[in-house]
Amino acid sequence: MYKPIDPFTVLLPKIDVHGYTRDIVTTVVNDFVYEHYRMGDEKVMVIHGISGGVIKKAIHDSLKRNKYVKKYYLYNMNIGCTIIELNKERG
């Protein structure tokens, strides 16, 4: 079956956190966000999957408190991914 490729997701920096535990995933995602904030990226993607939602909830709870994150939301074409918009202000 043909699966169309969304060019939006191809261009975004992304990290796949399948297999990570709830305790480790927040550190990995926060480090990923910080590195891309420092590089000046505007958006990044976290691929967390959809089963259970434990990892997604841990990531979203952590992103609420991250000062480098402007907003985040589930990608409407694949709810197993979260798009993170980074703050542009430095400091």
List the chain domain ranges. 7-86
Residue 21 has pLDDT above 90, yes or no: yes
Residue 30 has pLDDT above 90, yes or no: yes
Q: How far apart are CA 83 and CA 47, in angstroms?
A: 9
Q: How far apart are CA 83 and CA 38, in angstroms?
A: 17
**Half-sphere exposure at residue 34, Cβ-oriented, CA atoms within 13 angstroms:** 11
Q: How confident is the model at residue 62 (pLDDT cuts 50, 70, 90)?
A: very high
pLDDT at 89: 73
Q: How far apart are CA 65 and CA 38, in angstroms?
A: 18
Assess if CATH 3.30.1370.110 describes domain 7-86: yes
Q: How confident is the model at residue 29 (pLDDT cuts 50, 70, 90)?
A: very high
Strands 43-47, 69-75: parallel, antiparallel or unpaired by DSSP?
Answer: unpaired
